[in-house]
Structure 1
Amino acid sequence: MTGIAQFSKFSFSQPYGPGQLYGAPPYSYRNAQSITAVFTAEGTGIGDFLPPGVKVADPEPLALVTVSHYPQTAFGSYNEFWLYVRVEFNGERFMYCVAMYADSEKATAAGRELWGFPKKMAQMSLRQEGGQWTFRAARPADNCMLTLTFIEDSAQESGMRGEISLPTLSLRLIPHFTGEGEPDIAQLLATDNKKTLRQSALGTDERRCGRAHISWISTVADPFEPFVPKKMLGAWFSNYDTDVPGAYALVHDYKRKA
């Protein structure tokens, strides 16, 4: 009988064999361009997005959107955006991943299968024109569900970076093989992705603060009403390199505890 170790020796991910979509982490990212906008959210209904035991950490929910263009990665060149909310689980604070979208098949599959990130495919772009950065994400193609604009206007570091510099929490949820009953896997995972800022021609770190505006258009499949910004708290642009690891901790195993 073939041992379970034989699978990973030949093929790391689905599908088994030569057609696998991605290999094992870490995954290199170089010259990444990202804009992060932090805000308090309207909040009504956020609990519906959170797994059992995970609760919003603040009376006024603290959320963030990060939009990115990755010109060089282990998955090829692609775009992505994330939506996080600050939460608590068993007395510890995390940034929980509520939604994530990418325009890369490989990155979408890896995010869902390895970490349980709620990734979906979308069409998106990030560009700079006339001193303003504009990011748009559409799903389906004729529905621009997210527009984020950003203008640099401050050399000062945003105090909000410390507020959201927490491990990422995600739920890895694999349904029961029959399609009925309790899931086969239900795990809360923690991930911490360290980034190294690139240097400008002047020898300064490539992080610049500014002002951002976020506009959502919700659909039944992508309901963003609870995350409409109530107050913008800070925004910044970053240009960095990173090597994305796998999850570093199993925070909670719902199956084992049950």
Structure 2
Amino acid sequence: MQSRGKLYVVGIGPGSTDLLTIKALNALKDSEYILGHKTYIKRIYDLVKDKKVIESGMGREVERVRMAVKLAEESRVSLISGGDPSIYGILPLVIEYVSRNNIDVDVEAIPGVTASCAASSLLGSAISGDHAVISLSDLLIPWKKIEKRLLHALKGDFVVVIYNPSSRRRKSNLIRAMEIIREHRGDAMIGIVKNAYREGEMVLFKRVSEIIQCPEVVDMSTILIVPNSETIIDDGRMISPRGYGNKYNF
């Protein structure tokens, strides 16, 4: 028998509540319980402070999902995720958990503005065509597989968006990734966006060699965008043309 409650898995976007979708706002309003990582709860707290809020830290994802699913048997629950919940978010774990445990709960995914889209807009129009998205975090994926994926994306001349490039305990992955990029794209200018659409926002460009020399400019709140062979930087904006200039005169 299906549960009487409902579980919303809500993407809250990159930071600013201005970028929450109407559907996300409605899901939060409809929920009795709000669960999420403490960083994400903080971003939307003013919107949910009258709800039953349950926050936890990094590494507690399975526990959060288990609790959210249990609560959703009888109540309406929002489990929040930064950006979009299906892109390096909590949604895959929710679906896998209910499937493996044969739990009949009403789950609705609420899309959100992704960090890659937010970063691209702040840089100009960096990922307007074909692109690949790769995380450098090896907590769940072996580094050799990440390295292989990055290599093939570069060989395919994709614009490459890099999530989770570095952390306090993980600097070597960033350095190795930059070395691979330099081998295939030269000393390219990399678009760097930190804290997109939230406090501490920073948008800048650094060459690959500069990042290798000073990796501290990059952290877990940073998105890197690696240009392809057609990307240009003009008047402080990174643009990856879609090809209109090859077909039309303007």
TM category, shorter: under 0.3
TM-score by structure 1 length? 0.20
TM-score by structure 2 length? 0.21
Higher Cα Rg: structure 1 or 2? 2
Structure ranking higher in strand proportion: 1
